Structure formats: C-alpha cells, structure tokens
C-alpha cells in the first residue's frame, strides 16, 4: 500500500503488538505529531505532506510566518509533550465527497487537491488527539511508542516538487528506537557538518562553483585537479591490468542515436536542449552507452573476440532541478567511470565475478572496507527479455556475490525494465552509507542496436551486455573522499605530500635542493620561504592538511638530518632524506592497504 501523502511505501501492515516497531512506522507517526505541534502554534497553517524518509521524516507547511531556530526548539518541546499524552492513532475511512467536505471544513486545500488527484472510492484518515490527517498509515497504536525524536532543520520545498507551485516550509526531523541511537545519529550529523566537502573544498582550494558559469558545473582548482589526476591515473592503470580497453567519445550525438537508444522516449526530460548543426538535431550526451556500442559495431566480432571490455571516463550532462544541486554530490555535468562488457552467455558468470572482485579491489584501495550489497531482480511489469535470460542473469549476480563472500539483500522487483543489477553501498569513516558501484545487465540495448557476433557454428548471435560503474562519478566520489578523510588525504592521494619550511630566508637554496631531490622520486613537494614565523607556517599547513612538513634551520643544515612533522602528530622526528623518501614511497605503493586515521 502507498501513503496518500507521497511518503513511505509499505507492503503489509506491521504487527502493532511487536515490541520493536518498524522504524518507518515510528517516523511517520512522528511526522503527524510534528504537524499537530505546528498547528498548536499556528492554527492557520496549511498542511502539505509528511512522509517518513531514509533518516527521519519531514512535514511541509504553507505558513507565512518563517520558522526560526528558536521556534523549532519550541515545536520540539511541544512534540515531546504530545508524545507523553499517549494519544491513540485512530483510523477511519470516508467516501470522496465526505473526505473533501471534511478537509474544506479544516481549511486544508492541499489535502483537497490530493483527494481529487487520487480519485479513490474511499479515503483513509488518522486521528490522534485534536489532530486529523489524510493518510493511509500505518501508525503506532499511540504516541508514547515514539521513543526518541529530534527536529533538525527547516528548508524551502515546492509543493509536489514543482517549481511552478508555491514554496512551502519543510521541517525535517528524525526518530529512533531509543535515545542512544538518536544520540549517535546527532553525533554523526555534527561530524558530517565538520566534514562538509563544500567547506573543505574551499578551505583546501580544491574546487569551486561559480554562478557566472552555471549551477551544478564544477571548476577544478590546481590542487583538486592534482587529486583527480591521481584518481584517474590509478583507475586507468587498474583497467589496463584488468584487460579493459579505454575509449573516448564525443560530448554530443545526433538525434537518431538517442532515438535508437530510447533516451528520447524515456529520458528526454533529463537531457539538454537539442543543438541544430547542418540542419541536423544533436543532443548533449546524458550517458556513454550508445557510443560504446557503436565502437563495437564498427566491425564484425567472432565468438573468439569476446568478451570485449570497454571503459571510459566520460563526461555526461543531465538536467537536475536547482533545488537538488549539492556541491560535488549532485551536479549537472559529471565524469562517469563507465564500462560496458559484451560477452557470450557462457562467459556471463565469470565476467560478473571478475567485475565484483575488481570493484572491491578499487574501493579498498581508496580506503573503504565496509560494504552493503543489494541484488535487484525482475520487476513485475514492463520487463523486457526472456524469463530464462533473467533467471540466468540473476543467478550469475547472486553466485558472484556469494563467491566474493559478501553479505547481500535481495530487492525483489527492484531491477530496471532492461535487466537485474548489483548495487554496492560503501560505509564512510563516520558510518554513513553511499551508493557508488553498480553492475547492471542490459537486455535492451543489444536488441535496439542489433548487436551480434559470429558464433562457433558461423551464425550471427546476440551478445549479452553488462553496464558497470565502480566509483559512480568522479565528482561525487571525490566529494565522498573529502568527507571520508575529513580533507586529510592519505599520502598517495594528497595534492601536496611534503611542505618544506625554512626557518629563515637564507636557507632557501638548501630548501630548493631538497625539493629537487624529492621531486626526482615523484614526491609532490612545495616550499615556503616566506618571512612568517615558523609557528605560523606550521599552523598554516596543518590547516591545509599536508601529510609531511620538513623544517629546515641551522641545525638541519649542519647535521644533514631532517626535522619531519607528520600530520596529526605534535612531535617532530629526525629522519635522513633517504629514510623519508623510503617511507613516503612505501605509503604510495601500498595506497589504501595501510591504515589511515580519518
């Protein structure tokens, strides 16, 4: 069943006698308590929707008075008072005319709009205390079953997500089974604010977004570009080692290409306006897939040629509403680490296994070791392809996950219409989960592009195709890395690995000589010979999160031994030049396999 409020989908009504209620039920019940509390302060408020969401709940209000932080605290106090009253959640149904009449009496026009749009024979309502709402539930049996709540923020949200509609005030909150879990969540949220990649990106001079260029379009600064180059260089080398061939494809293609692929029928609202060139319509690419297939089709393949593995760091452009853009995490132009594997049926399972192992290898190298895996199976409606192929593909995905000894969950019916998939979520240093990697079967494009190979009997046969992204997008993955490491990149990723600090300007020649020696070993090194005091210099490069600082003064010149300070330590240790080079090279060689404090 689905809530009328556009919130949580629930397959069955939970057993309300269960001592530990489903967290979504608790959160949805808390959203009703929130609305009741707001109306107690602002009886004129018009109610929007109030769903449970991934980490909590929200409710939208049409209210002329801005909700301040001070008001938010008062609303939360009122919510706790309501919870202690042990108000029962009572359910009843009304026919359409009576439902509209009731909501008009309550002066709730948004609810009337929802009733008219749903066009059902009867409408479900829930009532607790003096509060009543159009809602299909389910809810706790009473408010005391909501153990721990916290209101978080207020933001603007267009009614029903359309910029053509009025902007409402959206209050976000969260609820948990106990106060300990709530306290952990609040700590995580506070830590996340400290690690916000947008602030760190500015502080560390990694990237920026400029309104004169356009929202959702990233400017990579020199230090950010250096990290991106390191990421991409590792990615390319790893793909060559894994027997992929790298491709480059154009940023736009003719209209007919997108018609063949189906993007103009199913995805046009996310594509940018067509460009007319020589009386032909072109579209900026939202995906790389069609280009890779055209490379495959440029000549006939034999069964001996398969599998073919194409990979590309291809920049694509997709329309996103301005309200959802968020730093590097949600952008309009991004570089996807795309790959397509074209293979025979007998190669499917081994290719999936290899991709999954490759994916885990890549993610571990970047410092992620905690994964959650989901297998999404054939949807009930609109799926294309034979059931036999779906069964084979789903079995191959499940066998690959089992062989990798990874825990997984089945998302029944959650696959795309064109094939099942594996999704991998990574857990960062503060316990947040991020969706990055996807391994996706496609029974659609090989058919649409009439792909083939010559089988062992000399006949044309349709190959199988696997889409695959490991990092998701370079931009988003970089944002995740910034927050995971709190800007303290491990030595192999750091844009500057060593900062040389001279105590006084006269030691500049020795600093330059040391820099030259370190650069000869591919160690990224900068010099600061400014007249600032050494304490100020040290504080500056701690703030810039440089892994190593070398202090050059009279004693270092006399002894030839370096004074080295590692990020995160208050102590200065003595090392020879060769010892320092060896230590940094060891960290670079082992990459994410060495423990890093984040």
Catalytic residues: 289, 318, 336, 338, 340, 421, 467
The three-state DSSP-derived secondary structure of 332-380 is: CEEEEEEEEEEECHHHHHHHHHHHHHHHHHHHHHCCCCCEEEEEECCCC
Which positions ≥6 away from 365 have C-beta within 8 Å? Answer: 234, 591, 592, 593
CB 529 within 8 A of CB 499: no
284 three-state secondary structure: strand
Q: What angle do CA 310, 316, 319 make, to 5 degrees?
A: 145
Sheet arrangement for strand 333-343: 245-246, 308-317, 333-343, 464-473, 433-442, 421-427, 371-376, 408-411
Burial class (CB within 10 angstroms; exposed 0-12, middle 13-18, buried 19+) of 411: middle
Residue 387: closest CA among 420, 353, 363, 422? 420
Task: Report d(CA 474, CA 336) in Å as an integer.
Answer: 6
Report how far residue 578's alpha carbon sits from residue 553's, in angstroms, rounded to the nearest whole number. 19
User: What is the rounded distance in angstroms from the CA atom of residue 422 to the CA atom of residue 441?
Assistant: 9
Residue with tokens 């979520």: 425
CB contact set of 89 (below 8 Å; sequence gap of 6+): 29, 32, 126, 127, 128, 137, 139, 140, 141, 142, 143
Per the DSSP assignment, residues forming a β-bridge with 549 are: 499, 565
Which pairing describes strands 333-343 and 308-317: parallel, antiparallel, or unpaired?
A: antiparallel
Collapsing DSSP to helix, strand or coil, 433 comes out as: strand
How far are the Cα atoms of 230, 235, 374 from residue 240, in angstroms, in the given order?
Answer: 16, 9, 28
Distant-in-sequence contacts of 221-224, Cβ < 8 A, 24+ apart: 222/495, 223/495, 223/496, 224/478, 224/495
CB 254 within 8 A of CB 284: no
Q: How far apart are CA 150 and CA 152, in angstroms?
A: 6
Three-state secondary-structure class, residue 124? strand
How far is Cα of residue 511 from the mean position of the Cα atoms in its chain? Answer: 42
Question: Which spans in 126-221 are helix H?
Answer: 179-194, 197-203
Pairwise CA distance, residues 24 & 51, whole Å: 9
Using alpha carbons only, what angle is made at residue 358 by residues 383 and 234, rounded to the nearest 5 degrees? 120
Taking CA 166 as the corner, what is the angle to CA 160 and CA 168, rounded to the nearest 5 degrees? 75
């Amino acid at each position: 069943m689905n809530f009328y409020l556009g919130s949580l989908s629930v397959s069955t009504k939970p057993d309300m006698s269960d001592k530990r209620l489903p967290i979504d039920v608790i959160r949805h019940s808390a959203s009703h308590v929130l609305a009741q509390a707001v109306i107690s302060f602002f009886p004129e408020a018009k109610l929007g929707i109030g769903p449970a969401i991934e980490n909590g709940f929200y409710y939208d209000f049409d209210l002329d008075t801005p909700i301040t932080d001070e008001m938010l605290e008062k609303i939360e106090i009122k919510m706790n008072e309501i919870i202690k009253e042990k108000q029962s959640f009572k359910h009843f149904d009304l026919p359409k005319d009576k439902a509209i009449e009731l909501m008009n009496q309550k002066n709730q026009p948004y609810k009337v709009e929802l009733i008219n749009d749903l066009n059902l024979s009867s409408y479900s309502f829930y009532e607790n205390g003096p509060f009543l709402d159009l809602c299909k539930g389910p809810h706790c049996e009473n408010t005391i079953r909501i153990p721990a709540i916290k209101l978080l923020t207020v933001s603007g949200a267009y009614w029903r997500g359309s910029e053509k509609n009025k902007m409402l005030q959206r209050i976000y909150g969260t609820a948990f089974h106990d106060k300990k879990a709530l306290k952990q969540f609040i700590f995580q949220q506070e830590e996340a604010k400290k690690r916000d990649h947008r602030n760190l990106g500015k502080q560390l001079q990694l990237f920026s977004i400029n309104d004169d260029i356009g929202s959702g379009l990233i400017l990579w600064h020199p230090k950010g570009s250096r990290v991106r180059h390191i990421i991409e260089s590792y990615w390319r080398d790893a793909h060559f080692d894994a027997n992929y061939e790298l491709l480059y494809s154009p940023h736009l293609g003719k209209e007919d290409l997108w018609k063949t692929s189906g993007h103009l029928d199913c995805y046009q609202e996310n594509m940018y306006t067509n460009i007319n060139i020589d009386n032909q319509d072109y579209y900026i690419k939202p995906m790389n897939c069609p280009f890779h297939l055209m490379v495959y089709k440029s000549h006939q393949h034999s069964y001996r040629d398969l599998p073919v593995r194409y990979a590309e760091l291809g920049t694509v452009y997709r329309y996103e509403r301005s309200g959802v853009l968020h730093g590097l995490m949600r952008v309009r132009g991004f570089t996807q680490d795309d790959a397509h594997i074209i293979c025979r049926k007998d190669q499917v399972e081994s290719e999936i296994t290899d991709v999954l192992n490759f994916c885990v290898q890549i993610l571990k190298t970047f410092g992620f070791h905690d994964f959650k895996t989901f297998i999404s199976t054939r949807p009930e409606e609109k799926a294309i392809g034979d059931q036999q192929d779906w069964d084979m593909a789903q079995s191959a995905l499940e066998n690959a996950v089992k062989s990798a000894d990874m825990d997984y969950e089945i998302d029944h019916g959650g696959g795309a219409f064109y094939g099942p998939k594996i999704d991998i979520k990574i857990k960062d240093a503060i316990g947040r989960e991020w969706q990055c990697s996807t391994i996706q079967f496609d029974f659609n494009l090989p058919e649409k592009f009439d792909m083939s190979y010559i089988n062992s009997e000399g006949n044309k046969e349709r190959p199988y195709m696997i889409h695959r992204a490991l990092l998701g997008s370079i931009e988003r993955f970089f944002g995740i890395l910034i927050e995971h490491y709190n800007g303290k990149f491990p030595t192999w990723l750091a844009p500057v690995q060593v900062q040389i600090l001279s105590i006084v300007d006269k030691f500049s020649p020795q600093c330059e000589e040391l820099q030259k020696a370190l650069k000869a070993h591919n160690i990224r090194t900068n010099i600061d010979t400014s007249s600032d005091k050494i304490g100020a210099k040290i504080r500056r490069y701690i703030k810039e999160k440089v892994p190593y600082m070398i202090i050059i003064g009279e004693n270092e010149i006399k002894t030839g031994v370096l004074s080295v300070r590692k990020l995160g330590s208050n102590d200065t240790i003595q090392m020879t030049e060769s010892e320092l080079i060896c230590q940094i090279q060891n960290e670079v060689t082992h990459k994410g396999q060495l423990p890093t404090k984040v």
